[in-house]
Structure 1
Amino acid sequence: EQAASVMANDRQVMEGNRIFTVQEDLTTAEGEITFLATKGPLHDAAGNVIGMVGVSHDITERKRAEEEIRESEHKYRVLFETANDGIFLLNETGVVDCNQKGADMCGRTREEMIGCSPMDFSPERQPDGQLSSELAAAKMAAALDGEPLRFEWESLRADGEPFAAELALNRVEMGGAVFLQAICRDITERKRAEEAVARERTFSEDIINSLPGIFYMYDDKGKLVRWNKKHEEATGYSSEEMLGRYVLDWFSEEHKQYILSQVQSVFAEGESFAEAPLSIKNGSQVPYFFTGRLATLDGKQYLVGVGIDITERKRSEAERTLLA
């Protein structure tokens, strides 16, 4: 079949009496070889076509390189178009290309994106008060100098709706020109979730700190994992000193076995109570009434409870005993 194709090309040269350049593929013992052949008619003294002459160049490696480039470009274009993040290519004039995700993110068509500058998608100032224009210029300059950057950015859609974005900037070179590649991820929902968690944590902290006694939360190893400000104030320990303390650290030797049994009751039965002196930093012992309930968080069990200073109650009981 290949020989027939070559012979057909030769006939075209002679029958058409013209120079002909064609790519010809031949299969050899070493594999497929591609030639670029230039052929022309051979004339006798009278000008009649009596044959054909030609020159062939082996372009196999060039063809392979071209195919690899085409395949690479195809893969890049597929990744570019199907990415879940917005991808932008910028130069000194603004956006020169972007994928559909990027255009949708900004509320524009791809045609409308061309030539836009980063300030077309930014408010006057970022949440920290810095001018967007100055901050953007500094970050773009750093990225063009070869420093890969990743940062959060307050952005605007075409209708003025703000959205939180995570940007990655990198310098890229294509066709001898330098560009800035920006990969943009809309993190609005993530930021809202983080803010909701932060609000919930603040609310929980406010509730815990408003309790009339000391609040504590111990894991199933008896390690203190959460407490309120009153716990620090009542015992004289700082938040750093509270870290790593265990439930039995608060009690003298004569009360440790009793407290341990009550803690075990919480994990076994779900609830328990205890009265015992609490050892504080200055070495004194303060009588407390302790509650303990079993709580489950993220699949782990904890003891949570409140301790109430019963010094006044103990004093009143002692006075009544004396009067009796």
Structure 2
Amino acid sequence: MKPELQKYFPMIRTRAEVLEEIQSHPKLSGVFQNWKQKQQEEFLDFVTGAKGVKVLYDSFFKEIMNPETVPERLEHFLSLVLKEEVRIKCVLPTDNSRIADESSLLIMDILIELEDGSLANLEAQKVGYKFPGQRGACYLADLLLRQYKRVRTEKGDAFSYEDIKKVYTLILYEKSSAEFHRFPDDYIHHVSPVSDTGIKLEWAQESILIPLDIFRLNLQNKGISSELDAWLTFLSVDEPKIIERLIQKYPQFKPMYQQIYYICRNTEKVMELYSEELKILDRNTVQLMIDEMQEELIRKDQQLELLSQQNDQQLLEIARLKKMLTGNCE
């Protein structure tokens, strides 16, 4: 039985064809055998169209949404999210902008400069970081400082704070933290400072937070109701029936899927991309386990400290009662 998506993308190969090619090349066969069975099945599912590719993962995202080769795709998506026309000037390295080594839980991370000088960081998290507000504020401050230093150097004595443009962080969560689940009907949160008096100030920081797990729940109930919904579907859904509905309603996504399935015909290349994603996910899983263990140790230390304090209070109470008893006996 042919996969549902093959009628739209005839370049998709069958499972037997893919396995035959892998088994006929010792290098590819060795890589495939080193994967866990679940990983093997996931790979075969997306190269044969049984399921869609996880577009949001770094390697695949940068193939399909590369702002250096196809900037119009990312520009269109960002324009819908930011609700204003966006043009990309260049891609910037992200390494120097990280406050610390925060590879944990990230599955995609890209930093771009827009034509007006604004900086926009787009990242995806496998599991949402705890304390998303505090983390977001710190990272926005880091981006703002990066821009300030560059502009101050370029302008010299002519520098004015008017030269500072906005910095944005746009975060997509595969699995969002508890804060977002208190708003089950909302999956796009624009966060920026607002005055309690109504005074209008040009504030240079804004975050857009998108919990994709909540979006997918809404998608089941409401369907694809806007072009932005269509983009979020493309980035986060791997179910063939929904992909079919997407390209029927929004045919502009069909060329992107075609590019994906042409990449999937290059077995060696797509296996390299997938292997890289597995390394990232393995590293993130280990880091997540370390983070959870550290939190558990902190929690136990706090519990021990509380017990110690309670014990001290009990000792003091015993001493007080003994003193009262001694005084009464006298």
Q: Same fold (TM over 0.5)?
A: no
Shorter-chain TM range is under 0.3
* Structure with the largest fraction of strand: 1
Based on CA coordinates, which of the two structures has the bigger radius of gyration? 1
Q: What is the TM-score of this pair, normalised by structure 2?
A: 0.18
TM-score normalised by L of structure 1: 0.18
- Whose relative contact order is higher, 1 or 2, with alpha carbons under 8 Å and at least 6 apart? 2
